[in-house]
Every structure is written in structure tokens, then in C-alpha cells.
Amino acid sequence: ILNVEQSPQSLHVQEGDSTNFTCSFPSSNFYALHWYRWETAKSPEALFVMTLNGDEKKKGRISATLNTKEGYSYLYIKGSQPEDSATYLCACYGGATNKLIFGTGTLLAVQP
Amino acid sequence: GAGVSQSPSNKVTEKGKDVELRCDPISGHTALYWYRQSLGQGLEFLIYFQGNSAPDKSGLPSDRFSAERTGGSVSTLTIQRTQQEDSAVYLCAGEGVIDNYGYTFGSGTRLTVV
């Protein structure tokens, strides 16, 4: 069974702080990793789809890296803003699965 | 439509009643997924439809749950004889080349069984 783990479970930062969180997954039979942002009362929104070892992707102040050999991805937010407050979900395809398996998410709260 | 639509957005039902949740994906979504999030839990996979292939039902928690996708478009998730542990947010997602194979989620149905 594919197990996707995220840490920390929750994070409280001040506006302007930079922050990062981790997604770990089994490195064998890796296919793709997704990051989503889920704001309260809204739909989860796709941030990045990453497939290649060493991939780095960026969208505004948010960026992500991928290490498929050791089985982890980092999501970075530079200069956090209150509107960044959300749950950040990581999900993987892998092995025999043909669907995304999600981690439990990191809940980010940015205080103004 | 512009996105994946789900209805109803909220549903309160009495224990033992049947409920039907609807998902309208974007045209061009070749795959459709149902997930749910129970209080304090992560997103839990329920069922997956891909084209005309037999659906992957491996995530359905019991035989009270069923889903169908008619004409490769609209999908309905049916829960029979609802129980309190069925209370959750039920999310539908479509996937296709139009999204660069990321998922496009609907806004979910919040089901409360009382």
C-alpha cells in the first residue's frame, strides 16, 4: 500500500516569514507527485505536477522540489501572506495504483 | 461549465436514509475520481472511472456505497442506509490532458448524518 506522509501536521507563521514543509513517499516505482492547496470552503487547487528527479517548479512565491531517489518533496513559501493560509496536500501515483494517494496535509496559518 | 460541479453542496440526512451525490466533470476529463475527507482525516480514495474501463472500486468502504458514471460524463455516488460514520466532505475530481494531468476538484458535498 502506497503511504504518503506529510510534515508538519500544522504550522503557524507570521506574515513575511518563509516556510517549508515535507512530503515523503516510497521511492520505488515512483510515477508522479502532485501538490494541491485547499482553502477552507473551496476546492483543492492544483499547484504542481512533478515527475522527474531533481525537478523544481515555481509559481509566484511558492516553489517545490522533488527527489525521487530518496522519496521526498519540499514545498517552499517565500514571504508568507495571510492569503497563503490553507491546507497543502501532497499526493503520489506509484506502484500498481492508478490514482493519487494523498497525504493528510499540512495546515498553514499565516498571522498578519 | 467552467469547472467541476457537485451537488448538493450540503446535505443533512437521517441515519438509515439513502443519499445520492452528483458530480458534473469538465468536458475532456477522461478520468473521474471520488474522494472523501472525514473529520481529522486525509483525503480517502473511494472510486475511479477511466473511459469505458471497469471502475476501480477498491476504496469503497462498504457495500452500502456505489457509484456510476453515465455516458462518460456525469457521475453519481449513492450511499444506502447512511450511518453517522459516513459524515464527511465528498469530493469529485476530473483528470485529463486539459489539466496537464493534475486533478480538477469540485467544491464538494458536505454530508452530515444525524
DSSP string, B38-100: -TT--EEEEEEEETTSPPB-TT--STTEEEEEGGGS-EEEEESS--GGG-EEEEEEEE-GGGT
Residue in the block written with cell 506502484: A95
Kindly state the percentage of chain B with pLDDT values over 90: 67
Cα–Cα dist B84/B24, whole Å: 26
Q: Residues of A with CB below 8 A from B93's CB?
A: 44
Q: Is B57 on the interface with A (CB under 8 A)?
A: no
Rg (CA), chain A: 13
pLDDT tens per residue across span B67-90 = 999 877 899 999 999 999 999 999
* pLDDT greater than 90 at residue A13: yes
Task: Provide mean pLDDT across the span B45-60.
Answer: 90
Q: Is A81 on the interface with B (CB under 8 A)?
A: no
Q: Is B98 on the interface with A (CB under 8 A)?
A: no
